Amino acid sequence: MKNLISKEQIEEFHKKGFINVKGVYSDQEVNSINKQFRNHWIQLVQNGEIHAKEDRPLESLFPRMRDYHRKNPVIMKHTLKSEVFDLMKAVIGEEPLVISTSYYFKSPTTRELPLHQDNYAFGVFPGTTYAAWVSLDYTDEQNGGLQFVRGTQEKELEDPEKDPTNVREYFSDKGQEINVPKGSYVENITTNPGDVVIFNGNIIHGSNANVTKDRYRRCLLTHFTGVSVERLALNFNKLVNREGEKVRRRFNNNTKIAEKQGTIFSIKDAGYFDSWR
Protein backbone atom coordinates (compact mmCIF):
# COMPACT_ATOMS: atom_id res chain seq x y z
CA MET A 1 0.00 0.00 0.00
CA LYS A 2 1.21 3.46 -0.90
CA ASN A 3 1.67 5.61 2.19
CA LEU A 4 -0.78 8.40 1.50
CA ILE A 5 -0.42 10.10 4.85
CA SER A 6 2.69 10.55 7.00
CA LYS A 7 2.98 10.46 10.78
CA GLU A 8 3.55 14.22 10.75
CA GLN A 9 0.35 14.77 8.77
CA ILE A 10 -1.65 12.67 11.23
CA GLU A 11 -0.24 14.77 14.08
CA GLU A 12 -1.11 17.93 12.17
CA PHE A 13 -4.66 16.65 11.72
CA HIS A 14 -5.06 16.04 15.45
CA LYS A 15 -3.62 19.45 16.25
CA LYS A 16 -5.62 21.54 13.75
CA GLY A 17 -8.70 19.38 13.28
CA PHE A 18 -8.32 19.23 9.50
CA ILE A 19 -5.77 18.38 6.82
CA ASN A 20 -5.64 18.46 3.03
CA VAL A 21 -4.24 15.22 1.62
CA LYS A 22 -3.22 16.01 -1.95
CA GLY A 23 -3.86 14.01 -5.09
CA VAL A 24 -5.79 11.05 -3.68
CA TYR A 25 -8.18 10.76 -6.63
CA SER A 26 -6.85 10.75 -10.23
CA ASP A 27 -8.18 13.11 -12.90
CA GLN A 28 -9.96 10.16 -14.43
CA GLU A 29 -11.73 9.37 -11.14
CA VAL A 30 -12.64 13.03 -10.67
CA ASN A 31 -14.16 13.14 -14.17
CA SER A 32 -16.01 9.90 -13.54
CA ILE A 33 -17.59 11.21 -10.32
CA ASN A 34 -18.65 14.47 -11.98
CA LYS A 35 -20.04 12.60 -14.97
CA GLN A 36 -22.17 10.30 -12.80
CA PHE A 37 -23.71 13.23 -10.93
CA ARG A 38 -24.18 15.16 -14.17
CA ASN A 39 -26.17 12.19 -15.51
CA HIS A 40 -28.35 12.10 -12.38
CA TRP A 41 -28.82 15.84 -12.66
CA ILE A 42 -30.04 15.56 -16.27
CA GLN A 43 -32.58 12.92 -15.22
CA LEU A 44 -33.76 14.98 -12.25
CA VAL A 45 -34.22 18.08 -14.42
CA GLN A 46 -35.97 16.05 -17.10
CA ASN A 47 -38.49 14.55 -14.71
CA GLY A 48 -39.06 17.86 -12.96
CA GLU A 49 -37.63 16.94 -9.55
CA ILE A 50 -35.11 19.75 -9.89
CA HIS A 51 -36.24 23.04 -11.33
CA ALA A 52 -35.10 26.65 -11.39
CA LYS A 53 -36.78 28.84 -8.79
CA GLU A 54 -37.48 32.42 -9.72
CA ASP A 55 -35.53 34.20 -7.00
CA ARG A 56 -32.30 32.13 -7.16
CA PRO A 57 -32.42 30.25 -10.48
CA LEU A 58 -28.85 29.01 -10.71
CA GLU A 59 -28.53 28.05 -7.05
CA SER A 60 -31.84 26.19 -7.06
CA LEU A 61 -30.97 24.28 -10.24
CA PHE A 62 -28.01 22.73 -8.45
CA PRO A 63 -29.08 21.43 -5.04
CA ARG A 64 -27.02 19.19 -2.83
CA MET A 65 -27.44 15.54 -3.80
CA ARG A 66 -27.40 13.25 -0.81
CA ASP A 67 -26.63 9.55 -0.47
CA TYR A 68 -26.29 8.70 -4.15
CA HIS A 69 -23.76 6.02 -3.17
CA ARG A 70 -26.80 3.92 -2.34
CA LYS A 71 -28.35 4.48 -5.77
CA ASN A 72 -25.35 4.31 -8.06
CA PRO A 73 -22.70 1.55 -8.01
CA VAL A 74 -20.07 3.77 -9.65
CA ILE A 75 -20.47 6.39 -6.93
CA MET A 76 -20.40 3.60 -4.33
CA LYS A 77 -17.11 2.38 -5.81
CA HIS A 78 -15.56 5.86 -5.58
CA THR A 79 -16.87 6.25 -2.02
CA LEU A 80 -15.37 2.91 -0.98
CA LYS A 81 -11.94 3.65 -2.51
CA SER A 82 -9.57 1.60 -0.38
CA GLU A 83 -6.95 4.37 -0.09
CA VAL A 84 -9.60 6.60 1.45
CA PHE A 85 -10.60 3.92 3.95
CA ASP A 86 -6.90 3.51 4.82
CA LEU A 87 -6.55 7.27 5.30
CA MET A 88 -9.62 7.46 7.49
CA LYS A 89 -8.48 4.47 9.50
CA ALA A 90 -5.16 6.23 10.10
CA VAL A 91 -6.81 9.38 11.44
CA ILE A 92 -9.73 7.76 13.32
CA GLY A 93 -7.57 5.02 14.81
CA GLU A 94 -9.98 2.25 13.91
CA GLU A 95 -11.82 0.81 10.93
CA PRO A 96 -14.17 3.43 9.40
CA LEU A 97 -17.83 3.18 8.39
CA VAL A 98 -19.57 5.43 5.86
CA ILE A 99 -22.51 7.36 7.31
CA SER A 100 -23.58 9.40 4.31
CA THR A 101 -22.43 11.16 1.15
CA SER A 102 -23.27 14.59 -0.23
CA TYR A 103 -22.38 15.92 -3.66
CA TYR A 104 -22.31 19.67 -4.14
CA PHE A 105 -22.21 21.44 -7.52
CA LYS A 106 -22.08 24.78 -5.72
CA SER A 107 -22.83 26.72 -8.88
CA PRO A 108 -21.94 30.40 -9.28
CA THR A 109 -24.29 32.52 -7.10
CA THR A 110 -24.75 29.75 -4.50
CA ARG A 111 -24.75 31.10 -0.94
CA GLU A 112 -22.31 30.25 1.82
CA LEU A 113 -22.70 27.37 4.26
CA PRO A 114 -22.59 29.01 7.69
CA LEU A 115 -20.07 27.90 10.31
CA HIS A 116 -21.26 24.76 12.09
CA GLN A 117 -20.18 21.50 13.72
CA ASP A 118 -21.17 18.31 11.89
CA ASN A 119 -21.80 16.12 14.90
CA TYR A 120 -24.36 18.56 16.29
CA ALA A 121 -26.94 16.93 14.02
CA PHE A 122 -25.28 13.60 13.19
CA GLY A 123 -25.31 12.54 16.82
CA VAL A 124 -22.46 10.05 16.70
CA PHE A 125 -21.84 8.57 20.15
CA PRO A 126 -19.34 7.78 21.46
CA GLY A 127 -16.81 9.76 19.41
CA THR A 128 -17.64 11.96 16.49
CA THR A 129 -17.81 12.03 12.70
CA TYR A 130 -14.89 12.35 10.31
CA ALA A 131 -15.40 13.95 6.91
CA ALA A 132 -13.52 13.16 3.69
CA TRP A 133 -14.21 16.08 1.37
CA VAL A 134 -13.11 15.23 -2.17
CA SER A 135 -12.28 18.34 -4.17
CA LEU A 136 -13.61 17.99 -7.74
CA ASP A 137 -12.65 21.47 -8.95
CA TYR A 138 -9.96 23.94 -8.06
CA THR A 139 -11.45 25.66 -5.00
CA ASP A 140 -10.64 28.91 -3.26
CA GLU A 141 -12.33 31.71 -1.36
CA GLN A 142 -14.00 32.98 -4.56
CA ASN A 143 -15.83 29.87 -5.71
CA GLY A 144 -16.98 28.69 -2.32
CA GLY A 145 -13.95 27.00 -0.79
CA LEU A 146 -13.86 25.51 2.69
CA GLN A 147 -13.12 27.47 5.83
CA PHE A 148 -12.09 26.23 9.25
CA VAL A 149 -11.54 27.52 12.76
CA ARG A 150 -8.34 25.69 13.64
CA GLY A 151 -8.24 23.77 16.93
CA THR A 152 -11.97 23.91 17.66
CA GLN A 153 -12.31 20.14 17.30
CA GLU A 154 -11.18 20.02 20.92
CA LYS A 155 -14.36 21.79 21.97
CA GLU A 156 -17.62 20.23 23.00
CA LEU A 157 -20.57 20.72 20.65
CA GLU A 158 -21.76 24.31 20.93
CA ASP A 159 -25.34 25.46 21.27
CA PRO A 160 -26.22 27.79 18.36
CA GLU A 161 -28.86 29.37 20.66
CA LYS A 162 -31.62 29.60 18.10
CA ASP A 163 -35.37 29.69 18.70
CA PRO A 164 -36.39 26.01 19.10
CA THR A 165 -40.07 26.69 18.34
CA ASN A 166 -39.39 27.56 14.70
CA VAL A 167 -38.62 23.96 13.82
CA ARG A 168 -37.72 24.28 10.14
CA GLU A 169 -35.41 27.23 10.77
CA TYR A 170 -33.97 25.53 13.85
CA PHE A 171 -32.79 22.51 11.87
CA SER A 172 -31.68 24.49 8.81
CA ASP A 173 -28.06 25.34 7.94
CA LYS A 174 -28.71 28.83 9.28
CA GLY A 175 -30.19 27.42 12.49
CA GLN A 176 -27.02 25.45 13.12
CA GLU A 177 -24.79 28.48 12.69
CA ILE A 178 -22.33 29.18 15.46
CA ASN A 179 -20.03 32.12 16.04
CA VAL A 180 -16.26 32.15 15.87
CA PRO A 181 -14.96 31.72 19.43
CA LYS A 182 -13.14 34.72 20.91
CA GLY A 183 -9.46 34.76 20.02
CA SER A 184 -9.92 32.38 17.08
CA TYR A 185 -10.10 33.17 13.41
CA VAL A 186 -11.49 31.72 10.21
CA GLU A 187 -8.99 30.21 7.83
CA ASN A 188 -9.72 29.74 4.10
CA ILE A 189 -8.15 26.86 2.25
CA THR A 190 -7.53 26.14 -1.43
CA THR A 191 -7.69 22.71 -3.03
CA ASN A 192 -7.06 21.04 -6.36
CA PRO A 193 -9.17 18.37 -8.05
CA GLY A 194 -8.43 15.00 -6.45
CA ASP A 195 -7.38 16.41 -3.05
CA VAL A 196 -9.16 15.05 0.03
CA VAL A 197 -9.72 17.36 2.97
CA ILE A 198 -10.23 15.33 6.14
CA PHE A 199 -11.87 17.05 9.09
CA ASN A 200 -13.14 16.23 12.53
CA GLY A 201 -16.90 16.30 13.23
CA ASN A 202 -16.52 18.77 16.08
CA ILE A 203 -14.45 21.39 14.23
CA ILE A 204 -16.20 24.65 13.46
CA HIS A 205 -16.23 24.98 9.69
CA GLY A 206 -18.25 26.23 6.75
CA SER A 207 -17.78 27.33 3.15
CA ASN A 208 -17.79 30.64 1.32
CA ALA A 209 -20.42 31.84 -1.12
CA ASN A 210 -19.56 31.17 -4.76
CA VAL A 211 -19.13 34.72 -6.04
CA THR A 212 -17.59 33.74 -9.38
CA LYS A 213 -19.52 34.08 -12.61
CA ASP A 214 -18.43 30.86 -14.18
CA ARG A 215 -16.76 28.37 -11.84
CA TYR A 216 -18.58 25.54 -10.09
CA ARG A 217 -17.15 24.29 -6.82
CA ARG A 218 -17.94 20.61 -6.99
CA CYS A 219 -17.10 18.18 -4.23
CA LEU A 220 -18.09 14.76 -2.96
CA LEU A 221 -18.29 14.77 0.82
CA THR A 222 -18.34 11.48 2.70
CA HIS A 223 -19.01 11.41 6.44
CA PHE A 224 -17.36 8.54 8.28
CA THR A 225 -17.25 7.35 11.84
CA GLY A 226 -15.34 4.62 13.64
CA VAL A 227 -16.66 1.07 13.76
CA SER A 228 -17.03 1.28 17.57
CA VAL A 229 -19.86 3.81 17.27
CA GLU A 230 -22.88 2.71 19.30
CA ARG A 231 -25.55 5.24 18.41
CA LEU A 232 -26.16 7.96 15.84
CA ALA A 233 -29.11 9.78 14.31
CA LEU A 234 -28.47 10.08 10.57
CA ASN A 235 -28.56 6.82 8.60
CA PHE A 236 -28.11 4.80 11.82
CA ASN A 237 -29.38 1.69 10.06
CA LYS A 238 -27.71 2.32 6.67
CA LEU A 239 -24.03 2.58 7.46
CA VAL A 240 -21.67 1.01 4.93
CA ASN A 241 -18.42 -0.80 5.63
CA ARG A 242 -15.33 -1.19 3.43
CA GLU A 243 -16.84 -4.22 1.69
CA GLY A 244 -19.95 -2.25 0.76
CA GLU A 245 -22.11 -4.14 3.26
CA LYS A 246 -24.88 -2.45 5.18
CA VAL A 247 -24.16 -2.05 8.87
CA ARG A 248 -26.65 -1.11 11.56
CA ARG A 249 -26.28 0.72 14.88
CA ARG A 250 -28.79 2.07 17.38
CA PHE A 251 -30.73 5.26 16.84
CA ASN A 252 -29.48 8.16 18.93
CA ASN A 253 -32.51 9.90 20.38
CA ASN A 254 -30.29 12.24 22.34
CA THR A 255 -28.53 14.32 19.66
CA LYS A 256 -27.42 17.77 20.64
CA ILE A 257 -29.63 19.33 17.98
CA ALA A 258 -32.75 17.63 19.41
CA GLU A 259 -32.07 18.58 23.04
CA LYS A 260 -34.34 21.59 22.97
CA GLN A 261 -37.09 19.84 21.04
CA GLY A 262 -40.03 18.30 22.88
CA THR A 263 -39.88 15.08 20.95
CA ILE A 264 -37.20 13.27 19.03
CA PHE A 265 -39.52 13.14 16.07
CA SER A 266 -39.42 16.85 15.40
CA ILE A 267 -36.09 16.31 13.68
CA LYS A 268 -37.92 14.12 11.20
CA ASP A 269 -40.83 16.55 10.94
CA ALA A 270 -38.37 19.23 9.95
CA GLY A 271 -37.31 17.08 7.00
CA TYR A 272 -33.73 17.29 8.14
CA PHE A 273 -32.88 13.79 7.08
CA ASP A 274 -34.79 13.83 3.82
CA SER A 275 -32.56 12.66 1.05
CA TRP A 276 -32.86 14.11 -2.40
CA ARG A 277 -34.91 11.53 -4.21
Partner 1 sequence: MDIGKHKKEFLYNGYTIIKEAYSNQEVEELKREYEKVWLEKVASGEIKQDLTKPLNSLYPRQRDTHLENKEILKFALKESVLNVLEMFIDEEVELISTNFYYKPPTMEGIPFHQDNYGIGVSPGTCHAIWTCLEKTDENNGGMRFVPESHKLELLTPKKVYNDEADTFGGYIQTLEVPDGYDIISVNTEPGDVVIYHGHAIHDSTKNKSASDFRNSIICHYCGTSSKKLTLNYNKIINKKGERIRKRVNMSSFK
Rounded to the nearest whole angstrom, what is the least distance from the CB of residue 182 to partner 1 in the complex? Answer: 38
Taking the complex as a whole, how short is the minimal distance between the CB of residue 37 and partner 1, in angstroms? 11
Q: Please, what is the minimum distance in Å from the beta carbon of residue 34 to partner 1?
A: 12
* CA dist., res. 39 & res. 34, Å (int): 9
- In our burial notation (b when 16+ CB lie closer than 10 A, e otherwise), range 234-255 reads bbbeebbebeeeeeebeebeeb
Q: Which is nearer to partner 1, 38 or 268 (CB)?
A: 38
Q: Could you tell me the smallest distance in angstroms from the CB atom of residue 141 to partner 1?
A: 19
What is the C-alpha separation between 41 and 35, in angstroms, rounded? Answer: 10
Residues in touch with partner 1 (CB under 8 A):
38-39, 42, 45-48, 51-52, 54, 57-58, 61, 107-109, 213-214
The residue (of 45 and 180) whose beta carbon lies closer to partner 1 is: 45
Minimum gap (Å) between residue 48 Cβ and partner 1: 5
Q: Which is nearer to partner 1, 214 or 274 (CB)?
A: 214
**CB of 10 or CB of 58, closer to partner 1:** 58
Q: Which is nearer to partner 1, 60 or 266 (CB)?
A: 60
63 in Cβ contact with 276 (< 8 Å)? yes
Q: How far is the CB of 81 from partner 1 (least distance, A)?
A: 23
- Crossing angle (nearest 10°) for helices 7-16 and 82-92: 60
d(CA 191, CA 193): 7
Can the peptide bond before residue 108 be classed as cis, meaning omega within 30 degrees of 0?
A: no
- Comparing C-alpha atoms, which of 208, 209, 153 is closest to residue 181? 153
Q: Indicate the residue among 42 and 180 with the shorter CB distance to partner 1.
A: 42
Report how far residue 261's alpha carbon sits from residue 218's, in angstroms, rounded to the nearest whole number. 34
Contact between residue 165 and residue 147 where contact means Cβ atoms under 8 Å apart: no
